[in-house]
Amino acid sequence: MRNKESIFKKGNRAALLASIVNTIIAIIKGVAYFFTGNVAMFAEMMHSFGDAANQLFVFIGSALSKKLPTNRFPDGFGRLVNLVLLGAVIIVGVMSYETIKEGIMHILHPTESTGLLINISVLGVGFLLEVYVLYKAMKEIVHETGGQANGLAVIAMSFKNFKASKPATKLVFMEDMVATLGGIIAIIGILISYFAGWHAAEGVASVIIGIMMFYVVGNVFMDNAKGALGEADDELEDKIAEYIFTNSEIKDIKTLFAIKEGENYHIEMKLEIDASLTVAQAIAIKERIEGKISEINGITDVIIEFLVDDGVRTWFNHAHKDVN
Protein backbone atom coordinates (compact mmCIF):
# COMPACT_ATOMS: atom_id res chain seq x y z
CA MET A 1 0.00 0.00 0.00
CA ARG A 2 2.82 2.40 0.88
CA ASN A 3 4.48 1.67 -2.44
CA LYS A 4 1.30 2.60 -4.34
CA GLU A 5 0.96 5.79 -2.32
CA SER A 6 4.56 6.79 -3.04
CA ILE A 7 4.06 6.16 -6.77
CA PHE A 8 0.95 8.34 -6.96
CA LYS A 9 2.77 11.12 -5.13
CA LYS A 10 4.93 11.35 -8.26
CA GLY A 11 1.90 11.93 -10.50
CA ASN A 12 1.41 15.19 -12.39
CA ARG A 13 -0.03 17.61 -9.82
CA ALA A 14 -1.46 19.96 -12.42
CA ALA A 15 -3.50 17.08 -13.88
CA LEU A 16 -4.85 16.03 -10.47
CA LEU A 17 -5.85 19.58 -9.57
CA ALA A 18 -7.48 20.07 -12.96
CA SER A 19 -9.41 16.81 -12.62
CA ILE A 20 -10.82 17.77 -9.21
CA VAL A 21 -11.76 21.30 -10.27
CA ASN A 22 -13.32 20.14 -13.55
CA THR A 23 -15.40 17.52 -11.71
CA ILE A 24 -16.83 20.26 -9.48
CA ILE A 25 -17.44 22.51 -12.50
CA ALA A 26 -19.11 19.67 -14.45
CA ILE A 27 -21.52 18.89 -11.59
CA ILE A 28 -22.49 22.55 -11.24
CA LYS A 29 -23.03 22.86 -15.00
CA GLY A 30 -25.01 19.60 -15.03
CA VAL A 31 -27.41 20.93 -12.38
CA ALA A 32 -27.78 24.19 -14.34
CA TYR A 33 -28.49 22.28 -17.57
CA PHE A 34 -31.10 20.11 -15.78
CA PHE A 35 -33.06 23.20 -14.72
CA THR A 36 -32.60 25.37 -17.84
CA GLY A 37 -32.20 22.95 -20.77
CA ASN A 38 -29.63 25.29 -22.30
CA VAL A 39 -27.68 23.53 -25.06
CA ALA A 40 -24.60 25.73 -24.62
CA MET A 41 -24.59 24.69 -20.97
CA PHE A 42 -24.87 21.06 -22.12
CA ALA A 43 -21.77 21.55 -24.27
CA GLU A 44 -19.85 23.03 -21.36
CA MET A 45 -21.02 20.23 -19.04
CA MET A 46 -19.81 17.57 -21.49
CA HIS A 47 -16.56 19.45 -21.95
CA SER A 48 -15.91 19.62 -18.20
CA PHE A 49 -16.81 15.95 -17.61
CA GLY A 50 -14.54 14.93 -20.48
CA ASP A 51 -11.69 17.05 -19.16
CA ALA A 52 -12.11 15.71 -15.61
CA ALA A 53 -12.01 12.06 -16.71
CA ASN A 54 -9.18 12.73 -19.11
CA GLN A 55 -7.04 14.53 -16.56
CA LEU A 56 -7.59 11.79 -13.99
CA PHE A 57 -6.20 9.26 -16.48
CA VAL A 58 -3.32 11.63 -17.14
CA PHE A 59 -2.49 11.82 -13.43
CA ILE A 60 -2.57 8.02 -13.04
CA GLY A 61 -0.53 7.47 -16.21
CA SER A 62 2.11 10.05 -15.26
CA ALA A 63 2.47 8.41 -11.84
CA LEU A 64 2.73 4.82 -13.14
CA SER A 65 5.25 5.88 -15.81
CA LYS A 66 7.72 6.63 -13.00
CA LYS A 67 7.80 3.03 -11.77
CA LEU A 68 11.28 1.55 -11.69
CA PRO A 69 12.25 -1.04 -14.34
CA THR A 70 11.54 -4.69 -13.55
CA ASN A 71 12.91 -7.99 -14.87
CA ARG A 72 9.85 -8.26 -17.11
CA PHE A 73 10.07 -4.63 -18.28
CA PRO A 74 13.79 -3.78 -18.18
CA ASP A 75 13.36 -0.56 -20.18
CA GLY A 76 11.02 0.88 -17.55
CA PHE A 77 7.55 2.41 -17.90
CA GLY A 78 8.42 5.85 -19.29
CA ARG A 79 6.24 5.53 -22.38
CA LEU A 80 3.20 4.41 -20.36
CA VAL A 81 2.10 8.02 -19.98
CA ASN A 82 1.97 8.34 -23.79
CA LEU A 83 -0.18 5.22 -24.08
CA VAL A 84 -2.55 6.44 -21.35
CA LEU A 85 -2.89 9.81 -23.05
CA LEU A 86 -3.65 8.10 -26.36
CA GLY A 87 -6.49 6.29 -24.60
CA ALA A 88 -7.61 9.46 -22.83
CA VAL A 89 -8.12 11.38 -26.09
CA ILE A 90 -10.79 8.83 -27.05
CA ILE A 91 -12.89 10.16 -24.16
CA VAL A 92 -12.51 13.73 -25.36
CA GLY A 93 -13.24 12.61 -28.92
CA VAL A 94 -16.55 11.03 -27.90
CA MET A 95 -17.48 14.11 -25.86
CA SER A 96 -16.58 16.32 -28.82
CA TYR A 97 -18.83 14.33 -31.13
CA GLU A 98 -21.77 14.48 -28.73
CA THR A 99 -21.26 18.22 -28.23
CA ILE A 100 -21.23 18.96 -31.96
CA LYS A 101 -24.21 16.67 -32.61
CA GLU A 102 -26.29 18.35 -29.90
CA GLY A 103 -25.31 21.77 -31.24
CA ILE A 104 -26.33 20.89 -34.80
CA MET A 105 -29.68 19.55 -33.58
CA HIS A 106 -30.29 22.82 -31.76
CA ILE A 107 -29.37 24.86 -34.85
CA LEU A 108 -31.82 22.84 -36.96
CA HIS A 109 -34.53 22.90 -34.29
CA PRO A 110 -33.84 25.92 -32.06
CA THR A 111 -35.73 26.20 -28.79
CA GLU A 112 -35.78 28.95 -26.20
CA SER A 113 -34.01 28.10 -22.95
CA THR A 114 -34.69 29.65 -19.57
CA GLY A 115 -32.69 30.71 -16.54
CA LEU A 116 -30.44 33.42 -17.96
CA LEU A 117 -29.16 34.43 -14.52
CA ILE A 118 -28.42 30.82 -13.54
CA ASN A 119 -26.59 30.10 -16.80
CA ILE A 120 -24.45 33.23 -16.74
CA SER A 121 -23.64 32.81 -13.03
CA VAL A 122 -22.62 29.16 -13.41
CA LEU A 123 -20.54 29.82 -16.52
CA GLY A 124 -18.94 32.83 -14.84
CA VAL A 125 -17.91 30.76 -11.80
CA GLY A 126 -16.70 27.98 -14.12
CA PHE A 127 -14.67 30.49 -16.12
CA LEU A 128 -12.91 31.79 -12.98
CA LEU A 129 -12.10 28.25 -11.82
CA GLU A 130 -10.79 27.33 -15.27
CA VAL A 131 -8.58 30.43 -15.28
CA TYR A 132 -7.18 29.36 -11.90
CA VAL A 133 -6.37 25.84 -13.16
CA LEU A 134 -4.94 27.23 -16.40
CA TYR A 135 -2.63 29.54 -14.48
CA LYS A 136 -1.48 26.61 -12.32
CA ALA A 137 -0.71 24.63 -15.49
CA MET A 138 1.25 27.61 -16.82
CA LYS A 139 3.31 27.73 -13.63
CA GLU A 140 3.95 23.99 -13.94
CA ILE A 141 5.26 24.48 -17.49
CA VAL A 142 7.62 27.21 -16.29
CA HIS A 143 8.82 24.96 -13.44
CA GLU A 144 9.31 21.88 -15.65
CA THR A 145 11.30 23.79 -18.26
CA GLY A 146 13.63 25.38 -15.72
CA GLY A 147 12.28 28.90 -16.13
CA GLN A 148 11.69 31.53 -13.46
CA ALA A 149 8.74 33.92 -13.59
CA ASN A 150 6.08 35.42 -11.36
CA GLY A 151 2.74 37.12 -11.89
CA LEU A 152 1.78 37.90 -15.47
CA ALA A 153 5.28 36.97 -16.68
CA VAL A 154 4.27 33.32 -16.12
CA ILE A 155 1.77 33.57 -18.99
CA ALA A 156 4.31 34.70 -21.58
CA MET A 157 6.95 32.18 -20.46
CA SER A 158 4.46 29.29 -20.45
CA PHE A 159 3.56 29.93 -24.09
CA LYS A 160 7.26 30.26 -24.96
CA ASN A 161 8.21 26.96 -23.24
CA PHE A 162 5.00 25.07 -24.06
CA LYS A 163 6.58 22.60 -26.51
CA ALA A 164 9.31 21.64 -24.03
CA SER A 165 6.87 20.76 -21.22
CA LYS A 166 5.89 17.24 -20.20
CA PRO A 167 3.06 15.52 -22.14
CA ALA A 168 0.72 15.46 -19.13
CA THR A 169 1.17 19.15 -18.34
CA LYS A 170 0.86 20.03 -22.02
CA LEU A 171 -2.50 18.24 -22.19
CA VAL A 172 -3.83 20.00 -19.08
CA PHE A 173 -2.72 23.36 -20.48
CA MET A 174 -4.40 22.77 -23.84
CA GLU A 175 -7.62 21.43 -22.35
CA ASP A 176 -7.99 24.27 -19.88
CA MET A 177 -7.14 26.84 -22.52
CA VAL A 178 -9.98 25.49 -24.65
CA ALA A 179 -12.25 25.23 -21.59
CA THR A 180 -11.61 28.88 -20.70
CA LEU A 181 -12.34 30.02 -24.25
CA GLY A 182 -15.34 27.68 -24.35
CA GLY A 183 -16.84 29.35 -21.29
CA ILE A 184 -16.60 32.75 -22.98
CA ILE A 185 -18.16 31.41 -26.21
CA ALA A 186 -21.01 29.78 -24.28
CA ILE A 187 -21.76 33.04 -22.45
CA ILE A 188 -21.78 34.96 -25.75
CA GLY A 189 -24.12 32.39 -27.31
CA ILE A 190 -26.56 32.59 -24.40
CA LEU A 191 -26.57 36.41 -24.41
CA ILE A 192 -27.21 36.53 -28.18
CA SER A 193 -30.03 34.02 -27.81
CA TYR A 194 -31.66 35.94 -24.98
CA PHE A 195 -31.30 39.55 -26.16
CA ALA A 196 -31.34 39.12 -29.96
CA GLY A 197 -33.86 36.30 -30.06
CA TRP A 198 -31.61 34.14 -32.26
CA HIS A 199 -31.95 30.90 -30.28
CA ALA A 200 -29.76 28.95 -32.71
CA ALA A 201 -26.78 30.93 -31.30
CA GLU A 202 -26.58 28.46 -28.40
CA GLY A 203 -26.25 25.61 -30.89
CA VAL A 204 -23.54 27.49 -32.80
CA ALA A 205 -21.66 27.98 -29.52
CA SER A 206 -21.94 24.25 -28.83
CA VAL A 207 -20.55 23.34 -32.26
CA ILE A 208 -17.61 25.76 -31.86
CA ILE A 209 -16.80 24.30 -28.43
CA GLY A 210 -16.94 20.76 -29.88
CA ILE A 211 -14.61 21.70 -32.74
CA MET A 212 -12.11 23.19 -30.27
CA MET A 213 -12.25 19.94 -28.31
CA PHE A 214 -11.47 18.01 -31.50
CA TYR A 215 -8.47 20.31 -32.03
CA VAL A 216 -7.11 19.22 -28.65
CA VAL A 217 -7.76 15.57 -29.55
CA GLY A 218 -5.76 15.87 -32.78
CA ASN A 219 -2.80 17.64 -31.20
CA VAL A 220 -2.59 15.36 -28.16
CA PHE A 221 -2.93 12.23 -30.31
CA MET A 222 -0.09 13.22 -32.66
CA ASP A 223 2.19 14.35 -29.83
CA ASN A 224 1.77 11.16 -27.81
CA ALA A 225 1.84 8.82 -30.81
CA LYS A 226 5.32 10.19 -31.49
CA GLY A 227 6.25 9.70 -27.82
CA ALA A 228 4.95 6.12 -27.75
CA LEU A 229 7.00 5.28 -30.85
CA GLY A 230 10.13 6.94 -29.41
CA GLU A 231 10.55 10.15 -31.39
CA ALA A 232 14.01 11.70 -31.62
CA ASP A 233 14.36 15.32 -30.49
CA ASP A 234 16.43 17.21 -33.08
CA GLU A 235 16.77 20.37 -30.97
CA LEU A 236 18.04 18.46 -27.94
CA GLU A 237 20.46 16.48 -30.12
CA ASP A 238 21.93 19.71 -31.52
CA LYS A 239 22.18 21.18 -28.01
CA ILE A 240 24.07 18.10 -26.77
CA ALA A 241 26.30 18.05 -29.86
CA GLU A 242 27.21 21.69 -29.28
CA TYR A 243 28.44 20.79 -25.79
CA ILE A 244 30.23 17.63 -27.02
CA PHE A 245 32.39 19.66 -29.37
CA THR A 246 33.51 21.94 -26.52
CA ASN A 247 35.52 18.92 -25.36
CA SER A 248 38.74 19.09 -27.36
CA GLU A 249 39.33 15.33 -27.02
CA ILE A 250 36.20 14.57 -29.10
CA LYS A 251 37.05 14.60 -32.82
CA ASP A 252 33.62 13.71 -34.22
CA ILE A 253 30.16 12.38 -33.37
CA LYS A 254 29.40 9.16 -35.21
CA THR A 255 25.81 8.87 -33.94
CA LEU A 256 23.71 10.79 -31.42
CA PHE A 257 20.11 10.01 -30.47
CA ALA A 258 17.91 11.83 -27.95
CA ILE A 259 14.87 9.55 -27.67
CA LYS A 260 11.81 10.74 -25.78
CA GLU A 261 10.36 8.07 -23.52
CA GLY A 262 7.23 9.39 -21.83
CA GLU A 263 8.21 12.50 -19.92
CA ASN A 264 11.96 11.87 -20.07
CA TYR A 265 14.82 11.45 -22.54
CA HIS A 266 17.21 8.56 -23.19
CA ILE A 267 20.54 9.59 -24.76
CA GLU A 268 22.78 7.31 -26.82
CA MET A 269 25.91 8.36 -28.70
CA LYS A 270 29.06 7.10 -30.36
CA LEU A 271 31.95 9.53 -30.14
CA GLU A 272 35.24 9.44 -32.03
CA ILE A 273 38.45 10.12 -30.08
CA ASP A 274 42.17 10.06 -30.82
CA ALA A 275 43.74 6.59 -30.63
CA SER A 276 46.59 7.94 -28.47
CA LEU A 277 44.33 8.47 -25.43
CA THR A 278 44.73 5.98 -22.60
CA VAL A 279 41.86 3.97 -21.11
CA ALA A 280 42.02 6.05 -17.94
CA GLN A 281 41.78 9.29 -19.94
CA ALA A 282 38.82 7.92 -21.95
CA ILE A 283 36.98 6.95 -18.76
CA ALA A 284 37.54 10.42 -17.27
CA ILE A 285 36.20 12.05 -20.46
CA LYS A 286 33.18 9.72 -20.48
CA GLU A 287 32.31 10.50 -16.85
CA ARG A 288 32.70 14.23 -17.41
CA ILE A 289 30.40 14.24 -20.46
CA GLU A 290 27.81 11.96 -18.85
CA GLY A 291 27.70 14.16 -15.75
CA LYS A 292 27.21 17.36 -17.73
CA ILE A 293 24.51 15.96 -20.02
CA SER A 294 22.66 14.40 -17.08
CA GLU A 295 22.22 17.90 -15.64
CA ILE A 296 19.85 18.78 -18.51
CA ASN A 297 16.26 18.72 -17.30
CA GLY A 298 14.40 15.54 -18.28
CA ILE A 299 17.40 13.36 -19.19
CA THR A 300 17.37 10.13 -17.18
CA ASP A 301 20.21 8.11 -18.68
CA VAL A 302 23.20 8.62 -20.98
CA ILE A 303 25.03 5.86 -22.88
CA ILE A 304 28.38 6.72 -24.47
CA GLU A 305 30.53 4.50 -26.69
CA PHE A 306 33.98 5.58 -27.93
CA LEU A 307 35.37 4.84 -31.38
CA VAL A 308 38.78 5.62 -32.88
CA ASP A 309 38.69 8.74 -35.06
CA ASP A 310 38.51 7.78 -38.76
CA GLY A 311 39.37 11.27 -40.01
CA VAL A 312 36.03 11.67 -41.83
CA ARG A 313 33.58 14.28 -40.53
CA THR A 314 30.21 12.59 -39.85
CA TRP A 315 28.18 14.94 -37.66
CA PHE A 316 26.44 18.07 -38.88
CA ASN A 317 23.63 19.82 -37.02
CA HIS A 318 20.10 19.24 -38.26
CA ALA A 319 19.75 22.72 -39.76
CA HIS A 320 22.84 22.04 -41.91
CA LYS A 321 21.45 18.64 -42.93
CA ASP A 322 18.15 20.20 -43.98
CA VAL A 323 19.91 22.71 -46.20
CA ASN A 324 21.87 19.99 -47.92
Q: Which pLDDT score is estimated for 318? A: 60
Residues in the chain: 324
Residue % of the chain over a pLDDT of 90: 24
Give the Cα separation of 179 and 222 in Å (integer). Answer: 20
Domain boundary residue, one of 205, 229, 253: 229
Instruction: Tell me the CA distances in angstroms from 189 to 51, 186, 272, one per residue in order.
Output: 21, 5, 64
Q: Are residues 73 and 207 in the same domain?
A: yes
Q: Which pLDDT score is estimated for 324? A: 43
Q: Are residues 240 and 202 in the same domain?
A: no
Q: Which pLDDT score is estimated for 320? A: 47
Q: Are residues 108 and 225 in the same domain?
A: yes
Q: Are residues 203 and 268 in the same domain?
A: no
Predicted confidence (pLDDT) at residue 80 exceeds the cutoff of 90: no
Q: Are residues 55 and 181 in the same domain?
A: yes
Q: Are residues 20 and 164 in the same domain?
A: yes
Predicted confidence (pLDDT) at residue 277 exceeds the cutoff of 60: yes
Least confident of 6-10, 138-142, 179-183, 216-220: 6-10
Q: Are residues 135 and 192 in the same domain?
A: yes
pLDDT digits (tens, 9 = 90+) for 10-23: 667 778 888 898 89
Residue 6: enclosing H or E segment and its boundaries?
helix 2-8
Give the count of alpha carbons within 13 A of 134, CB side only. Answer: 18
Amino acid identity for residue 139 in this structure: K
SS (H, E, C) 63-98: HHCCCCCCCCCCCCCCCHHHHHHHHHHHHHHHHHHH
Give the Cα separation of 157 and 104 in Å (integer). Answer: 38
pLDDT digits (tens, 9 = 90+) for 212-240: 888 888 887 887 777 777 777 888 889 89
Q: Are residues 176 and 121 in the same domain?
A: yes
Q: Are residues 217 and 241 in the same domain?
A: no
Predicted confidence (pLDDT) at residue 5 exceeds the cutoff of 70: no
Q: Which pLDDT score is estimated for 220? A: 78
Interval 54-59 mean pLDDT: 81
Indicate which CATH number applies to the domain containing 132. 1.20.1510.10
Q: How many domains does the chain have?
A: 2
Arithmetic mean of pLDDT over the chain? 84
Q: Are residues 61 and 188 in the same domain?
A: yes
Q: Are residues 179 and 314 in the same domain?
A: no
Q: Are residues 179 and 251 in the same domain?
A: no
Q: Which pLDDT score is estimated for 207? A: 92
* Greatest Cα-to-Cα distance within the chain, rounded to the nearest angstrom: 85
Indicate which CATH number applies to the domain containing 243. 3.30.70.1350
Predicted confidence (pLDDT) at residue 192 exceeds the cutoff of 50: yes
- Give the domain range for residue 270: 234-323
